[in-house]
Structure 1
Amino acid sequence: MIGDRIKNPLENDVWQLCLRLREVVDLICAPKIHTNQVAYLQMLIEEYLEMRSKTFPGESLKPKHHYLVHYPELILHFGPLIRLWTLRFESKNSYFKQCARKLHNFKNLCSTLAERHQLLQAYLYAGKDYMMDFIEHAIQSVLPQLDREKVEAVVHELETNLGVEGPDDLQLIKEEDIRHLLSPVQCRRLINYFKSGNTAPSLSTSFSDEPSTTQFTSPRGRSNWVDSFQVPWDKMRPSLKRAIDACNRPEPGDRRHMVHVIVDSMRENCLNPTRKDWETIGCGYFTLLQQLKTRVEYVNRDNTLSRLRKPRRSQTSDDDQPPPAKCAKIDSYGCINWQPQEYPEGETSSSLEEKRKEMVDFFTQEGLRAAKRGRVKELMAIAYLKQREDINADPTPSIQDISKQWPFLLSWKFLLSHFTTLTGVDLYTRLKEDLDKKGKRLLEFFRCQLDQGEEQLVLPSTPRLIALGDTMWSANRWMLSIEGRVVIPHLPPMPDFVTALAVLFASFYVFNIEYQVEAVTTLEFVQRFLARINPDSSKCTAKVQRSRKAGRTVKRKTSDMSLRVISFMNAFSAFDCTS
């Protein structure tokens, strides 16, 4: 590619060095090599190392250069080295790191990672055929008189033309969809069987000396048991019962025993409960939920059959078939709709762009007063996908750019509406309820802590809430500033402080802003204690922070949840029990 650009290539030492290295690489990576060529390879390597030392005398050779000397001997022992190439394994590095961080496993991690990876490879190898085999067996069990060709035709119709991806989709099949393949009676028998929900496989196996048996049950009944689940209080320690009766905080040992008992009782109904099940039984308390989750993962370490799996959609070779559905990119920090993939019905990228321009015209003519129009509200809801595309663009747009493209997004009403669509949480309602329930107790708790000394906190640069009034408590108007400029003015006014707090908190999620180190404890307190959004990780990824005591930059301790927030929740729970 660049040989014709080299002047005097025969006299250019660097170019000759590159050519010699290319010869070495060609022989090393060759799928077949003769023993006579091995001697020639050894000579090339020696010449290359000598030329490298003379061409770059100031650069010492690295250990990797020394490895080249051993390649000829290795080829004589093992054959072409390309067949022993391990570079492909480098792609597994991120997978193993992610598993190691999320497994919470501290015993024989290598064995666990090897097992997880082997199961992943087996699952990927099976692909979609795994689930479709179950569907084929289900059809044969209901209609045993069908010949093989007819069964394959029905499975092909369900998979290719009707888009069935798994057993759950079978309940949506109608009689007219397969009427051209089966008789009316056969169609009705098959449809009734599909709607009974008996086609979804869920493996439940117990390990013993006797031959293992496999049972197939519908996952639709997976969460039904949660509604009728009863905590086995008769198995709890007497000291735990006394602490609860006296409204005291249980001892750590009693709490751990309670978690073990609850998990054992849960696993009698479902070997691997979902996060939704934990939240229901954990009553929304994040620390209890995490303990239940960790305990379930620990007891399920060796039970590979109880893990939840989803079929992987395989590629199709037909040009007229739509491409396989891809998982939407998610923020994984409490967001359920971070970047939707499907356009609203009847909409395209160009039509959403036209709607965006229409809203810009409304804003140019009437300003924020146009936000009261029903048409603007309708357009903002339809164009949510386009809003997320612009916000999530790379490089990240500034707030000023977003305000030009989506001026109504900086109206506090539409900002909160966008947050609700993004996270599924009605933030104002949730903050209002929690402040009404916990507000007085919070004030009493902090009033009791004043003797510990107060520190002046350095407010983060952005976002910040600006209160207009003599004091924070007497203010009745608020503004929001981001990136050093006011983005939500005091007119039209926010009705109360709860709305202002909701707008401030929502701006971090809507505009993909990380929590600043200086404010991470306060914001995570609002997120987990008041808004009750409890993901597994932290929204602050900073590695360093400024020490308040030493006044210098120090390495920041990172954890899935702020240790100060955990400490506060424990202290507040103890205060609540004793007050």
Structure 2
Amino acid sequence: MARLRQKRPSISGMRRQERGPMDQYGCVRWQPKELPAGETEESLQEMKRQMLQLYAQFGMAGAEKGEFQRWHENTYMLQRCDLNADPPLSISKIKDDWPFLFSLKGLFSHFSELTGISILEKLPAAIEQRSKTIIEYFEQHKTKAVSEVLDAYQEVNGSKAICIILCLLAHFNENGIFLKADILPLCLPMTTPSLFALGVFTCVFVISSCICSPAFVQFIVGEPLSADKWMMSIEGTIVMGPHNNLLNGVAATFSAYYVFNLQYPKEASSTLEFVQRAFCGINSQTGSKAEKRHKLNAPVCTLLRKLLDFELMG
């Protein structure tokens, strides 16, 4: 999967840039051009060093310590310089330089700066508001694949968000995002405990895989809707998790495409664009994060229109 990049700008001499209209990828602060008030290049680099020391001492738990939030927000410009580098830096290099971008707090904070959207507020509220309509629509307009998802879904114990994502994947005849169980060992770092041995139902969200095999909708153990933990894989390596709360996993997966300048994969482009438009409110009229697509996604627009009609008639 290709990564979208711009030429890396220098920090010195950057002029003020106001939060302006969203560009074609829904970003409002793609590359800030003004240093934070009262800061210099040297002070920002010192904040970066302090965060690296924090990570070395506490790991990802450092995101909850001391001055982290202020350091993370103030160094947003430096983060974007590295993320927008041309040629692009590898995910492993980004993780070495900015490890807290792979924490939930750091990832969601960066996404909020980049898009102007608080995804932990927007996504759950939108799914809660629209889930009943979406599930009822699919119950009345079943395909074989959608039926299999709905038959396995248990409203009491199942994840509503994962059910909807699986229904969308089935509806659009896509199979991306989740990792096939027999591919997983190739992605797990040596330090990751055996989830098979632990008997954990874990969902793996695939962002960008260096493995040739396609990423199908499957889980490590048990049925898809039985998962209670999640991990994220980018470029063939697990970079986040295991974590609880599958809805946070959906939010983190979507955020990562924007934060790390990744194109929607062909195997899940319509599903991700539906999440983008219906749940996150990013409704750019031109361009797309899907490869080689510069117009609105017709299947997504059709489903959105049908859902609106279904809701009005209900």
Map Cα deviations across residues 382-421 of structure 1 (whole Å, 9 max, x no partner).
1111111111111111110100001111001210111011
C-alpha displacement at 1:470, in angstroms?
A: 2.3
Match of 1:459 in 2: 176
In structure 2, distance between residues paired with 1:410 and 1:426: 17
Match of 2:124 in 1: 432
C-alpha displacement at 1:502, in angstroms?
A: 0.7
Which structure has the higher relative contact order (CA within 8 Å, separation 6+)? 2
C-alpha displacement at 1:514, in angstroms?
A: 1.0
Match of 2:280 in 1: 531
Letter in 1 for 2:87: P
* More helix per residue: 1
Match of 2:239 in 1: 487
Give unmatched runs, 5+ long, in structure 1.
1-322, 544-557
Q: How does 1:341-380 map to 2 (within 5 A)?
A: 341-380=33-72
Map Cα deviations across residues 59-96 of structure 1 (whole Å, 9 max, x no partner).
xxxxxxxxxxxxxxxxxxxxxxxxxxxxxxxxxxxxxx
Query: Does the CA contact (< 8 Å) of 1:466 and 1:480 recur in 2?
Result: no
In structure 1, distance between residues paired with 2:37 and 2:309: 52
Letter in 2 for 1:479: M
Q: Are residues 1:397 and 2:89 paired?
A: yes
Root mean square deviation, CA, Å: 2.7
In structure 2, distance between residues paired with 1:463 and 1:390: 19
- The percentage of counterpart residues that share the same residue type is 32
Match of 1:515 in 2: 264
Q: Are residues 1:422 and 2:114 paired?
A: yes
C-alpha change, 1:394 and 1:451, in structure 2 (3 Å) is: closer
In structure 2, distance between residues paired with 1:469 and 1:444: 28
For residue 500 of structure 1, the aligned residue among 235, 239, 249 is 249
Matched pairs, number: 241
In structure 2, distance between residues paired with 1:525 and 1:467: 23
Which of the pair has more CA radius of gyration? 1
Match of 2:203 in 1: none
C-alpha change, 1:521 and 1:355, in structure 2 (3 Å) is: same
Match of 1:221 in 2: none
Letter in 2 for 1:480: M
Q: SS at the partner of 2:67? A: helix
Letter in 2 for 1:513: L
Query: Does the CA contact (< 8 Å) of 2:218 and 2:224 recur in 1?
Result: no
Match of 1:566 in 2: 301
Query: Does the CA contact (< 8 Å) of 2:24 and 2:288 recur in 1?
Result: no
Map Cα deviations across residues 481-507 of structure 1 (whole Å, 9 max, x no partner).
1111011121xx34x222111100000
For residue 388 of structure 1, the aligned residue among 66, 80, 85 is 80
Give unmatched runs, 5+ long, in structure 2.
1-12, 147-169, 180-205, 209-216
Letter in 2 for 1:534: N
In structure 1, distance between residues paired with 2:23 and 2:235: 22
Query: Does the CA contact (< 8 Å) of 1:338 and 1:422 recur in 2?
Result: yes
Match of 1:80 in 2: none
In structure 1, distance between residues paired with 2:220 and 2:14: 53
Match of 2:139 in 1: 447
TM-score between the two structures when normalised by the length of structure 1: 0.39
Match of 1:175 in 2: none
In structure 2, distance between residues paired with 1:325 and 1:375: 27
C-alpha displacement at 1:350, in angstroms?
A: 2.2
Query: Does the CA contact (< 8 Å) of 2:27 and 2:114 recur in 1?
Result: yes
C-alpha displacement at 1:449, in angstroms?
A: 2.0
Q: How does 1:167-206 map to 2 (within 5 A)?
A: none
Query: Does the CA contact (< 8 Å) of 2:25 and 2:289 recur in 1?
Result: no
C-alpha change, 1:426 and 1:324, in structure 2 (3 Å) is: closer
In structure 1, distance between residues paired with 2:118 and 2:92: 26
Map Cα deviations across residues 193-250 of structure 1 (whole Å, 9 max, x no partner).
xxxxxxxxxxxxxxxxxxxxxxxxxxxxxxxxxxxxxxxxxxxxxxxxxxxxxxxxxx
Q: SS at the partner of 2:34? A: coil
For residue 542 of structure 1, the aligned residue among 282, 291, 294 is 291
In structure 2, distance between residues paired with 1:324 and 1:344: 11
C-alpha change, 1:473 and 1:403, in structure 2 (3 Å) is: same
